[in-house]
Amino acid sequence: MGGALDPVVATGRNLVRHALDDLGPAARIVIGVSGGADSLALAAVTAFVADRAALDVEAVVVDHQLQPGSAEVAEVAVKQLAGIGLPARVVRVEVGADGGPEGAARTARLGALGATGADAVLLAHTLDDQAETVLLGLGRGSGPRSIAGMSAHDGLWRRPFLRLRRADTEHICRVHGLTWWTDPHNSDPAFRRSRLRAEVMPLLEDVLGGGVAEALARTAEQVRHDGLVLDALAAEVAAPHDVDTLAALPVAVRSRVLRLAALAAGAEALTATHVSELDRLVTDWRGQRRVELPGGVSATRTGASLSFADTPVKR
């Protein structure tokens, strides 16, 4: 790249630098690359940053083997990455049947990326993805946990591009001469997210003015920060099974205490509805003493005590 540094590329590099600044020189970084514009752009800027910081970086393209031609899409991505000097490989996964095709593919993909043994795995979710996630969460009424959207840093997973627009990732690809793959799912109206992207966001921009995506992403960040404080308060509650202690708590803290207690007992995939059912056991338990939760766990109220137990499997 000759001449002055492109300002969008500079922003992308700064975001990646910031996302990696706690890692030492020997750290191993994996970038999850689908072949789409977002992850190819992330790979391009990360290759530059990692080179300067002497970080060991590799791109991994997961082939879910679900669609004809998926191997070719993965190979094209690997070739493009090789063209910008980034080591890249394809990992083939067998996608199971649990949680619908999208969910099962995600589980297999994250499993493969997590199994690389990297110190950090970078994902290329953008500000637009975040805005759509917030809208989907609002529409489902699934509470602050989903309105808080995706976190920029969550253990192994890092999302440096949460502050970058999707269009900017396409620009970065063009600057680097990278040709991206367009996932046909992204324009398939059968998916809610596709219709949000194609129909709802442009309409919102039209009605509310520009900057709606940024505003939604900012909202996610604010809700996330508030949520962290409430989570910390909930983690400090000493007697999470004592109904009188629970009833005296503000509902925002109590719902988190109940959620944590249920998760600790082995419950999984808890929704806001499950948590409000648990809350009713505490505050309004006439007629209902027991709540079944996913993960084979049940919550039972007996007198002034709430207990969680494995639910026996019926045969």
Instruction: List residues forming the annotated binding site for ATP.
Output: 34-39
Report in angstroms how near the CB of residue 107 gets to ligand ATP at its nearest.
9
Among residues 44, 49, 78, 124, the one that binds ligand ATP under rule CB under 6 A: 124
Measured CA distances, 136 to 127, 131, 164 (Å) = 14, 9, 20
Dist. CA 57–CA 284, nearest whole Å: 54
Count of C-beta atoms within a 10 Å radius of residue 99: 12
Report in angstroms how near the CB of residue 12 gets to ligand ATP at its nearest.
13
Report in angstroms how near the CB of residue 15 gets to ligand ATP at its nearest.
14
Binding segment toward ligand ATP, per CB under 6 A, in 30-38, 46-54, 225-233, 265-273 = 30-38
103: tokens are: 């969910």
Report in angstroms how near the CB of residue 110 gets to ligand ATP at its nearest.
7
* Of residues 140, 154, 129, 156, the one with CA closest to residue 220: 129
- The binding track of 127-166 with respect to ligand ATP, each residue x by CB under 6 A or -, is --x-------------------------------------
**Which residues neighbour 161 within 8 Å (Cβ) at sequence distance 6 or greater?**
12, 15, 38, 41, 42, 124, 125, 126, 127, 169
Dist. CA 146–CA 135, nearest whole Å: 9
Among residues 80, 81, 104, 125, the one that binds ligand ATP under rule CB under 6 A: 125
Dist. CA 112–CA 121, nearest whole Å: 11
Total number of residues binding ligand ATP (CB under 6 A)? 14
Dist. CA 112–CA 56, nearest whole Å: 18
* CB-nearer residue toward ligand ATP: 85 or 111: 111
86 binds ligand ATP (CB under 6 A): no
38 binds ligand ATP (CB under 6 A): yes
Report in angstroms how near the CB of residue 21 gets to ligand ATP at its nearest.
20
* CB-nearer residue toward ligand ATP: 106 or 224: 106
Residues 91-110 that bind ligand ATP (CB under 6 A): 106, 109
Report in angstroms how near the CB of residue 25 gets to ligand ATP at its nearest.
24
* CB-nearer residue toward ligand ATP: 61 or 178: 61
Dist. CA 183–CA 197, nearest whole Å: 14
- Total residue length of the chain: 315
Give Cα 130 to chain centroid, integer Å.
9
34 binds ligand ATP (CB under 6 A): yes
Q: By three-state DSSP, how is residue 32 classified?
A: strand
Residues at the contact surface with ligand ATP, assessed by CB under 6 A? 32-34, 38-39, 60-62, 106, 109, 123-125, 129
